[in-house]
Amino acid sequence: MAHQKLLSGAPVSLFRKRLGDSGPPLIILHGMFGMSDNWQTLGRRLSDYYRVFLVDARNHGRSPHTSEMNYDLMAEDVGLLMEEEGMERATLMGHSMGGKTAMAFAAKYPERMDKIVVVDIAPRAYPPGHLSILEAFTRVDLAVATRQEIEAQLMTMVPSRAIALFLMKNLKRCKDGGFEWKLNLQAFKLHYPRLIAAVDPGGPHGIPALLVKGGKSAYVSDRDFELFKQHFPRAVLEVIPGAGHWVHAEQPEIFYNAVFEFLEEAD
């Protein structure tokens, strides 16, 4: 699929995978440098009970590349997706950047949200912890023959093989040989400060809310949960033991049980 090259700050039609034919709609929003495929296993499991939509955010995966990128626009992208799918209301679950997008959506469209699940992120600003990854994306020589050669390069630039393999999910083969990145690297370099900035979720909302924290993650503190509760007074906190920031990948069974129990609770 060739990426659309869009200059305007208008909402865009996002790539999505639909799983499940019945039940309430559940939209899952991935984190920075991720894509819908990261949530495939969990999405399939939840699709027994929900109509699940796994979404590629703008400038990620198979969604359009745009010159503009901020949480207000990304919330509008989700609103457009709901219009395209004929949804009046939905539950949003977002990890990291996706969690901030879900909170921005709550500020703009609270009447369209059934519940919100935010995974290991708070609405506050964060320090620039991804600069080394952006540098790795830039420095890798993509004009090579094999993925193994790219992995070897990344292993000299990132802390672990797990991170190298996560980043390599963004690779696609060029028709004339070599590789290219699926994500819009230029947009990330330009707008990265906006992606780590604070987001205002609005409210206080009556929306049932779950904040999931990895037990080994430093992304969410007790103070962060209190800030979250100012916007979502009905919020509950679930700490997943043995998990870092990628909670759903590191402790999938515990994560699934916590989320499913929250989704099934009566409002």
pLDDT tens track for 256-266: 999 999 999 97
**Average pLDDT of the chain to the nearest whole number:** 94
What is the mean pLDDT of the segment spanning 25-53?
A: 97
Q: Catalytic residues, which ones?
A: 96, 245
Strand residues in the chain grouped as ranges (E): 5-6, 16-19, 25-29, 51-55, 65-66, 90-95, 113-119, 171-173, 179-181, 209-214, 236-240
What is the mean pLDDT of the segment spanning 161-167?
A: 90
What is the pLDDT at residue 176? 81
Q: Examine the pLDDT at 122 and tell me if it is beyond 90.
A: yes
Q: Rounded CA gap, 38 and 182, in Å?
A: 14
Q: Residue 8: which pLDDT band, with cuts at 50, 70 and 90?
A: low
Minimal CA–CA distance to 78: which of 7, 13, 9? 13
Q: Residue 4: which pLDDT band, with cuts at 50, 70 and 90?
A: low
What is the mean pLDDT of the segment spanning 102-112?
A: 98
Name the percent of the chain in helix, strand, coil, to the closest 5. Answer: 40, 20, 45
Q: Examine the pLDDT at 1 and tell me if it is beyond 50.
A: no
Q: Which fold has domain 5-126+198-264?
A: Rossmann fold (3.40.50)
What is the mean pLDDT of the segment spanning 56-64?
A: 96
Q: Examine the pLDDT at 133 and tell me if it is beyond 60.
A: yes
Query: What is the reported pTM?
Result: 0.95
Domain boundaries, the chain: 5-126+198-264, 131-189
Strands 179-181 and 171-173: antiparallel
Q: Rounded CA gap, 161 and 166, in Å?
A: 8
What is the pLDDT at residue 70? 96
What is the pLDDT at residue 27? 98
What is the pLDDT at residue 5? 58
Cis peptide before 24, with omega less than 30 degrees from 0? no
Q: Examine the pLDDT at 240 and tell me if it is beyond 90.
A: yes
Q: Examine the pLDDT at 92 and tell me if it is beyond 60.
A: yes
Q: Examine the pLDDT at 238 and tell me if it is beyond 70.
A: yes
Q: Examine the pLDDT at 74 and tell me if it is beyond 50.
A: yes
Q: Residue 3: which pLDDT band, with cuts at 50, 70 and 90?
A: low
